[in-house]
A and B are shown apart, each in its own frame.
Chain A
């Protein structure tokens, strides 16, 4: 058994180098296809991450009547907090609202005209973050019905648009990734098939001298795996080289969005390695099958 595996690996290695041109062509095709696949995968993840970030920003802001007492406000906050759709609630007092406003003006370098006012024109507000932005209208109407609530900012239209966009990106992304995946599968399997067909004579001789199916199949399967592994490693190397300038560009492009991309690198590595080796093995397996004992 060990001897058989060693034999297969040795033959795979010899086979790879004896048909170096064919193997290199297969590996390069593999690199191209895997880069394409990885590119789409990363792109989709970045888009989804930024959309998730936008979704998290969805907030219901309810302005509170100036006549409301602190008790009434506390009761409102507690009540809203208890709603299952709600992630967090924050009360912003009138003074705090004014301070925030002044800070924003100062940050934008605009003259602060509020100092000339004899009283604070802003309302206190209850700011509600949602667990699920699709529950916006339910939360808005529940809060709007409270007597001490003066008005609720309705950003339904905006949120709907973001949600539609997100779901389009999500399903279109999966569809495109699926299509790219099928193309990659087809091209890689066919390239490996070419490499196997180039050795048809050798396989025929193996059959004629009484080699068993395993002795015919496994060297090619290992060779397919080798092409896959090599292609995947080259692809990952290229991605690593490209990732630094790319993420720089990404940060300056989305500089307002501190996107969480921690797992994308790991997922991409797994995707590229798995697809490369998997398709190499699959391609060799199906290509060599036509030559086995009928």
Chain B
């Protein structure tokens, strides 16, 4: 039931050291004039324009309530934009048929501040769950799960349940689950919000490594130190508007 990934070879292909795909530049996320008004009348996003080329690493910053989570919910079509276009890997989400929504969601791995792991499943089962519920044949599940668990460095903890893990290990489990569908994009909504600084750096390092494998990363964060240190692209939201979009930027505006 998984959709064929026509454009790019699989993440595992890339992991196995085969040649990186040679491809013309491609924008995996395009938001054009996007406005989101919630049913209660709250304007969460106003006239947002954002283009993310494949392979980018983008920090989404801004105070709480700025609309960062809303933007991410639009990308996975958890919410629909009130106005404007949201295009993910060529699919205009407003015109996407309901039946096609799961296919788009499998191209996007999501990671949250609160991990969202199933408490009674082991690390391995939590990751395998993402494949089981999308109809992946059992024979394909085992190798795929083993690989992503190795990638995030949890092979030794594979049989443990979330309560036996540290926060960092739980978040790495969630990242493994987000990777197991071999996504084009990882969306991480304040993934280090619950973690102490050292562990936060470990998670960031992991995301950087995944980015180097060609996966586009969009990460919402409040962590000024990390953002400023890494000098990646920074998109700043305030009251639903993009007030800054800079390459190689710091957390705060530097003029």
Cα distance A3–B60 in the bound complex, in angstroms: 41
Say whether, besides A212-B99, A212-B102, A293-B98, A206 and B116 are in contact (CB < 8 Å).
no
B155 within 8 A of A: no
Measured between beta carbons, the chain A residues less than 8 angstroms from B103 are 210
Contacts of B222 in A (CB 8 A): none
Known: A7-B132, A201-B116. Contact between A209 and B101, CB under 8 A? no
Q: Is the CB of A293 within 8 A of B101?
A: yes
Most buried by B among A4, A204, A294: A294
Whether, in the assembled complex, A18 has its beta carbon less than 8 Å from a beta carbon of chain B, the answer is yes
* B41 proximal to A (CB < 8 A): no
Within A187-217, the residues touching B (CB, 8 Å) are 201-202, 204-213, 215-216
Distance between Cα atoms of A18 and B118 in the complex (Å):
12
Q: B106-142 toward A: CB 8 Å interface, digit per residue (1/0)?
A: 1000100000101010000000011011110100000
Nearest-CB distance from B134 to chain A (Å)? Answer: 5
With beta carbons under 8 angstroms apart, the residue of A201, A213, A216 that contacts B118 is: A201
Chain B residues closer than 8 Å to A294, beta-carbon distance: 80
For chain B, residues 71 to 124, give those with C-beta under 8 angstroms from any C-beta of chain A: 76-78, 80, 98-99, 101-106, 110, 116, 118, 120
CA distance A54 to B135 in the complex (A): 63
Majority secondary structure, A binding face? helix
**Residues 197-218 of B contacting A (Cβ, < 8 Å):** none
Q: Which of B118, B120, B135, B181 contacts A205 (CB 8 A)?
A: B118
Contact between chains at A209 and B135 (CB < 8 Å): no
Report the nearest B residue to A202, measured CB to CB: B118
CB of B156 within 8 A of chain A? no
B16 at the interface (CB under 8 A from A): no
- Among A3, A4, A7, A210, the residue within 8 A (CB) of B102 is A210
Tell me, in angstroms, the Cα distance from A3 to B141 when the chains sit together: 14
Distance between Cα atoms of A201 and B126 in the complex (Å)? 13
Task: Name the interface size band of chain A.
Answer: 20 to 34
Is B7 in the interface zone, CB < 8 Å from A? Answer: no
- Chain A residues whose CB sits within 8 angstroms of the CB of B106 once the complex forms: 209-210
Contacts of B135 in A (CB 8 A): 3-4, 7, 212, 215
Whether the Cβ atoms of A215 and B133 lie closer than 8 Å is yes
Q: Which residues of A contact B110 (CB under 8 A)?
A: 208
B227 vs chain A, min Cβ distance (A): 25
Whether A3 pairs with B137 at a CB distance below 8 angstroms is yes
CA distance in complex: A205, B135 (Å): 15
Task: Indicate with 1 or 0, residue by residue over A118-134, a CB within 8 angstroms of chain B CB atoms.
Answer: 00000000000000000
B binding-site residues for A, Cβ under 8 Å = 1, 76-78, 80, 98-99, 101-106, 110, 116, 118, 120, 129-130, 132-135, 137, 177, 181
The 9 closest A-B pairs by CB, nearest first: A210-B105, A210-B106, A209-B130, A211-B133, A210-B102, A212-B102, A206-B133, A293-B101, A215-B133
Sampled A-B contacts (26; CB under 8 Å) = A3-B135, A3-B137, A4-B135, A7-B132, A18-B120, A205-B129, A205-B130, A206-B133, A208-B76, A208-B105, A209-B129, A209-B130, A209-B134, A209-B177, A209-B181, A210-B130, A211-B134, A212-B99, A212-B102, A213-B98, A213-B102, A215-B134, A215-B135, A293-B77, A293-B98, A294-B80
